[in-house]
Every structure is written in C-alpha cells, then in structure tokens.
Amino acid sequence: MNEGGTPRRIATRALSADDAEALPAALRILRSGGTVVFPTDTVYGVGSDPWSPEAVARLYWVKQRPREMAIPLLVSAPHHVERVVSDLPDAFQRVAARFWPGGLTLVLPRHPAVPHIVTAGGPTIAVRMPGHPLARALIEAAGGVLAVTSANRSGNPAPVTAEAARADLDGRVDLVIDGGASPCGVASAVIDLVRTPPRQLRAGGIPFAALRVVLPDLVDASRG
C-alpha cells in the first residue's frame, strides 16, 4: 500500500499452466492476500481469498470495480456451496446436477460467514462451478472457494487469453497463469434462484431453451 492506502503497482509474474511451479506459486500468492489470473471454461478470471476482506478489496482495486458491484464466487465442487450459501433453494440440486461444472452462475442466499465486501452488502451471492480442470484444481487447493471475476478492468472486454488479461492488468495482479485460450470464450449465464419464479439475469453460453428444460417457469429478464 502507498501512503494513501492504495495498493502499489507490482511486478506481474507469468507462468505456463504446464509449469510445475504454477499451482504452488498461485497458492502462496492467494494465501498472502494477492491476486491470480487463471483460465476458466468461459473467460479468464482473476481471483483472491474470499474470506479475507483485504484480499477482496485488492480484487476491487485490480478491476477498478465499483464497490457496489458484488464479486462472484467459484467453487471446486457442489458441496462447497453450503459454506457460502444459506437456505439452498429446492431447485438448486437439479440445476447444479444438469449444468455444473459449466457456464452457469446461480444467484443464491448469502451465508452470514461470507464477508459483506464480497456481496457489496447485499443478501445474495453469485456462485459457479467452472468446467476447466486447472481452475477447479486451483480452487480446490485453495480451500474449495475463491472470489473470482473476469480478468479485465471494469468496462473492458472479458479476456479469453492470458495475453489479453495481462495486457489489461499488468502491474496490478501478482501472477498470470497461461492455460491457452478459454474453450468457451463467452461469459456464463446467470440465473437468480432466490426469486419466484427464477429469472435469467444474463444470457450466456447455455441456451435459454436448455435452461427452461430444467426450470420450466424460468423468466428471461436478461433483455432489459
């Protein structure tokens, strides 16, 4: 931090996903409150420790993201959801069984243990289980849950390569792991399971018709 409390620019390190040091280096950084860019099945993400308000604050700084915009969580397996969500909706199990791992983010009731900075003080939290094996391995090694958002400054395009992510965030993140181009390249669909009926808040790589097969009463609110 500088004298004004703003994080200093840092030397961003880059490692290949094939490098044996990539995962250990990422874990050291995350455990010390830093930020790591890594590939997911949708776009590249930048993550931090969700249980540390200071680490999440740094993630907001990295993104230049307004504090009123919540940070999503990624989990390595469905059972970790119970640590960050209270009162799971009845529809959760069948939706997760059909679309996880994959490009679907679910808005669920926030567990009291989750720091308020993650949800911007709101009562809900966005959770996804990614389909990328490296992402899941990193998240699992870090404890099963990470605060993760797309690896770009707010307002810029979400990156599908490590090069694009580093070009946008160089000097702001500690490490970029290069795992090649993200296989999907499209942000996840977002469904709010807290409301009745459930609502699609953002369209993504999963067609609305496919979502309606599992959630027949789903309303498309993504068109404005």
DSSP state string for the chain: --TTSPPPP---EEEETTSTTHHHHHHHHHHTT--EEE--SSS-EEEE-TT-HHHHHHHHHHHT--TTS---EEESSGGGHHHHBSS--TTHHHHHHHH-SSSEEEEEEBPTTS-TTTTTT-SEEEEE----HHHHHHHHHTTSEEEEEESS-TTSPPPSSHHHHHHHHTTT-SEEEE--S-SS-SPPEEEE-SSSS-EEEE--SS-HHHHHHH-TT-EE-TT-
- pLDDT of residue 3 exceeding 70, the answer is no
- pLDDT of residue 68 exceeding 50, the answer is yes
State the residue for tokens 């993550």: 47
For residue 220, tell me if it sits in a domain. Answer: no
Q: Which value, in Å, is the radius of gyration of the alpha carbons in the chain?
A: 17
Separation in Å, CA 183 to CA 73, 80, 212: 20, 25, 24
For residue 218, tell me if it sits in a domain. Answer: no
Number of domains in the chain: 1
For residue 205, tell me if it sits in a domain. Answer: no
For residue 180, tell me if it sits in a domain. Answer: yes
pLDDT at position 172 is 97
pLDDT at position 224 is 65
For residue 176, tell me if it sits in a domain. Answer: yes
For residue 1, tell me if it sits in a domain. Answer: no
Q: Supply 169's token pair.
A: 């965030």
pLDDT at position 127 is 99
Q: Smallest Cα–Cα separation from 15: which of 3, 6, 23?
A: 23
- pLDDT of residue 142 exceeding 80, the answer is yes
For residue 18, tell me if it sits in a domain. Answer: yes
Across 118-143, average pLDDT:
98
Alpha-carbon span 45 to 104, nearest angstrom: 15
For residue 208, tell me if it sits in a domain. Answer: no
pLDDT bracket for residue 62 (50, 70, 90): very high
CA of residue 43 relative to chain centroid, distance: 10
pLDDT bracket for residue 6 (50, 70, 90): low
pLDDT at position 9 is 81
Question: pTM value?
Answer: 0.94
Q: Across the chain, what does the average pLDDT equal?
A: 95
**Residue-range definition of the domain harbouring residue 128:** 13-194
Angle at 221 between CA 188 and CA 148, to 5 degrees: 30
pLDDT bracket for residue 4 (50, 70, 90): very low
Across 110-130, average pLDDT:
98
Across 152-160, average pLDDT:
96
CATH number for the domain including 33? 3.90.870.10
* pLDDT tens digits, one per residue of 37-50: 999 999 999 999 99
